[in-house]
Amino acid sequence: MSFSGLDRKKCRYRVPGSREKWQSADLLPLSQKETLEQLNSRLAAYLEKVSQLEESNRHLEQKIQDLCERRARTSRDTSRYEKVIAEMEAQINRVKMENSELSLAVENTKLTANNFKAKYETELSLYQIITADIKEVKAADSHLEMETNCLKVELQIQTEELSSLKKDHQEDMAKLREDQSKCQVKVEVDSQPANDLTKTLEEMREHCKAIICNSNRKAEPWLVSKIRHYTHQNTIKPLQAEMVEVTLLRRTIQCLEAELETLHNMKASQRTTLIETEQNYATQLQRIQRIISRTEDELVKTRTDFKQMSADGGMLHYLKDLLQMEIKTYGQLMDVEEIRMEDMMYNASNGHPATLKTKQSELIIFTMFSIFWELLGKNLVLQELLQTIPLIINRCVGLARPGVSECRTGQTGGE
């Protein structure tokens, strides 16, 4: 909005000829002229202050824009956090893969342990069967020994009976010889010579003894060899083999148990490492979330401040437009006042009395600008200043009404 009209009006009011006319007419007092000049100077100062405020507003808008761009750049630069998050996700996936591999290895170890357990149970059952067979063989061996002892006892009894029979036979033969010698009967029989029964019996005894001894000699080595062979074939070697195999199985089970214990310890350590890693990642994630939330809060606060500044800027523009409208109204009032002054000068030259409308309008304008400049000097908030504008107008109108009533009273008294 151009203010050339106002400058022209100020120049018009300062024309010496017109001032002399007004002073000669005694229509405009000197104090009101000074007040008018003061209002003009205040208006110029106000316009200068408005230009300064516009300049400061532009600087503030530039600073706000720079701050928003800087905040936007800092808030959008999340590549560092994305890289850290990607590394964390990769580490978590790697740890999960290692955990799954360990779980698979543990399952395989459990299956292997179950297989070894089944083999151990099978071998244990075989060992129990072989132990039972060994017990049976030992029982058979003891039975054979008992039978051998019984046969030896029977052989000894038979030998004693044979010796007792021989002794009885010798005694009987001795008695028979004695009886024969006592009888002294000579009987001559013309027959073949009889065989010697004693000799025959002796020969038979010797032959039986030889047969028995020969059979004993032959049977005893055969029995001993059979017992040894059976014991060696069916008892000692399988038992030793089974004992060796059981020892190997025990060693294998101990190795597997040690390996399983090692795997359990490794699993526990890996689980502890996984828990610690998850806790560290959770802590880092919480810290990043706190940073993000704090940055978002700062962004919201900055947006709120920016909206508040934008609202204040809008209020300033609105106040500027309002003041420009008031200045325009002030210029129009000055034009009307100039016309009225010319009319009053014309009426004064013709001898008509002047009215008090000019004084009333000047009083309203002077009061309005005085109150407005006082409020503006107190640095009020824009909303409060805008809320006080209707009060200023009402106050000015209230101040002007007593003057109007006085003028009316003076006119009535004059009439």
* CA distances from residue 242 to 131, 139, 193 in whole angstroms, order as listed: 10, 21, 75
pTM for this prediction: 0.29
- For each of the domains in the chain, give its residue range(s) and CATH number, in order of start: 27-72+298-414 (no CATH), 88-169+206-289 (1.10.287)
174 CB contacts (<8 Å, ≥6 apart)?
none
pLDDT the model gives residue 391: 57
388-392 long-range CB contacts below 8 Å, 24 or more apart? 389/322, 392/368
342-346 long-range CB contacts below 8 Å, 24 or more apart? 344/25, 344/27, 345/21, 345/22, 345/25, 345/27
pLDDT the model gives residue 412: 38
pLDDT the model gives residue 133: 83
pLDDT the model gives residue 400: 44
pLDDT the model gives residue 280: 84
Per-10-residue mean pLDDT of the chain, 415 residues long, equals 39 38 41 74 83 86 83 65 84 87 87 86 85 83 81 83 83 78 54 62 79 77 72 62 77 82 83 85 86 86 86 81 76 76 75 48 54 52 51 51 41 39
Nearest Cα to 7, choosing from 32, 50, 30, 41?
Answer: 41
The tokens for 121 are 């149970």
Rounded distance between C-alpha atoms, residue 334 and residue 36, angstroms: 10
